[in-house]
Amino acid sequence: MRRAQYAWEEKIRRTAARPGIINLGGGLPSAAQFPRADLAAAFRRVIGPGQTDALQYGWAEGEHQLRQWVAARLAARGARVTADDVIVTNGAQQAIGIAADLVLRKGDAVGVEPASYPAALEQLRARGFKLTTLGHGRAAYVMPGINNPTGQPFSAQSMAAVRASGAWIIEDDAYGELKFDGRLAPLLLAQLPRRTLHVGTLSKTLCPGLRVGWLVVPPSLRRRARELKENDDLQANSLTQAIAGDYLRGIDFDRRLQRLRRFYLARATRLTREVKKALPSWRFVFPQGGFSVWVDTGAAVLERRFAEIALDEGVSFDSGSAFVAAPATSGSKSALLRLCFSSVPPARFAEGARRLARAWARVQRASPSKRRRR
């Protein structure tokens, strides 16, 4: 069942990458925000005369300069963290996997938000953990800063559930710093340090291609975390760690974040305006950060059929079911979907929304009798 789902999603993703398709799925950062010249300068420095560390083996926990930067950023947000607490990982995804393996055994349950990051959900399932609602389970996987896909910070209920449960917390802060108003919620790592395993990444705020993420764990789990990382793949990429470390040392990252927030807020504003215009029956809460808006279409259509018709119309999006661990908790049987405003040029938003509307009209007409079968 999952396998078939996977194959289908995969097919949709590949098709969506074709030229001409307006791809409102994927969650990619805007390539216009990649600091190519600055990264090239950093590369020249780390690979300059006599420099070979960036091409050689390194330590399992990662490059020191980069770990210091991560620690300093987290410390500035109130967490008691030093470079020794940070393990550099191959993106946030690997950090989530190591965190889960540190505190869970096969068969354990993990509480997740009503909508959450599909690759994390899939990874947790693949490792043999059961997904359940927040407040239950031996651990919680959450994105309290800014949730993907909703773009909203943690609700008071979610916070209360996590606080009360006493379970381990895997805090995924991938989008946290991209809260548009810049008023970041306190980290769970700062509030509940003894049971929080913190996951971060440069994928959303710098470039995903560098594959630089990190994991911060309580001291009692540190050695084991390092062993798991080493067993997995020895170490993170020496070269891109060196480039990132050098680049980050030389720039004002908070200024970069301010620019990114304005940039993505402007895109969120434009995309949602076009969607409202073209599809007034769709409902969503305007995102407070991140790359996407989480839409409730208000009608029960066959998700797969809609995605296929949309591709036929030349537009793509992320179907909602991949984000929902337990459909029963979603409180809705209508089709949900994630629309990303992050990487498509805004000049195409209006046309994208029109194509979505045409596809929506077609799928509504196509199989009214099947509406309840989902």
Site map 182..221 versus a copy of itself, x via CB under 8 A: ---------------------x---xxxxx----------
Query: Interface with a copy of itself by CB under 8 A: which range of 56-64, 153-161, 267-275, 292-300?
Result: 56-64
Q: Whole-angstrom Cα distance, residue 199 to residue 28? A: 19
Residue 119 or 185: which CB sits closer to a copy of itself?
A: 119
Position 148 contacts a copy of itself (CB under 8 A): no
Position 43 contacts a copy of itself (CB under 8 A): yes
> Smallest distance from the beta carbon of 9 to a copy of itself, in angstroms?
11
Residue 120 or 146: which CB sits closer to a copy of itself?
A: 120
Q: Is residue 134 a contact partner of residue 125, using CB atoms and an 8 Å limit?
A: no
Position 365 contacts a copy of itself (CB under 8 A): no
User: Which residue, among 209, 202, 182, has the nearest Cα to 70 in the 3D structure?
Assistant: 202
Considering only CA atoms, give the Rg of the chain: 21
Residue 60 or 216: which CB sits closer to a copy of itself?
A: 60
Q: What is the DSSP string of 299-355?
A: S---HHHHHHHHHHHTEE-EEGGGG-SSGGGGS--S-EEEEE-SSS-GGGHHHHHHH
Q: Is 236 helix (H, G, I), strand (E, B) or coil?
A: coil
Position 238 contacts a copy of itself (CB under 8 A): yes
Q: What residues numbered 108-147 form the site for a copy of itself, per CB under 8 A?
A: 119, 122-123, 126-127
> Smallest distance from the beta carbon of 74 to a copy of itself, in angstroms?
22
Cα end-to-end distance, the chain, whole Å? 14
Among 74, 79, 81, 93, binds a copy of itself (CB under 8 A): 93
Q: Is 266 helix (H, G, I), strand (E, B) or coil?
A: helix
Residue 28 or 192: which CB sits closer to a copy of itself?
A: 28
Residue 275 or 325: which CB sits closer to a copy of itself?
A: 325
Position 251 contacts a copy of itself (CB under 8 A): no
Q: What is the DSSP string of 11-54?
A: HHHHHHTSTT-EE--S-PPPGGG--HHHHHHHHHHHTSTT--GG
DSSP state of 184: P
Query: Interface with a copy of itself by CB under 8 A: which range of 153-161, 176-184, 234-242, 345-353?
Result: 234-242
Determine phi and psi for 295, rounding to 5 degrees: -105, 135
Listed in sequence order, the DSSP H helices in the chain are 2-16, 36-46, 64-76, 91-103, 118-126, 156-165, 188-191, 219-233, 238-250, 253-278, 303-313, 349-366
Position 316 contacts a copy of itself (CB under 8 A): no
Position 40 contacts a copy of itself (CB under 8 A): yes
Residues that bind a copy of itself (CB under 8 A): 6-7, 26, 28-29, 31, 34, 36, 39-40, 43-44, 47, 51-58, 89-91, 93-94, 97, 119, 122-123, 126-127, 203, 207-211, 223, 227-228, 230-240, 242-243
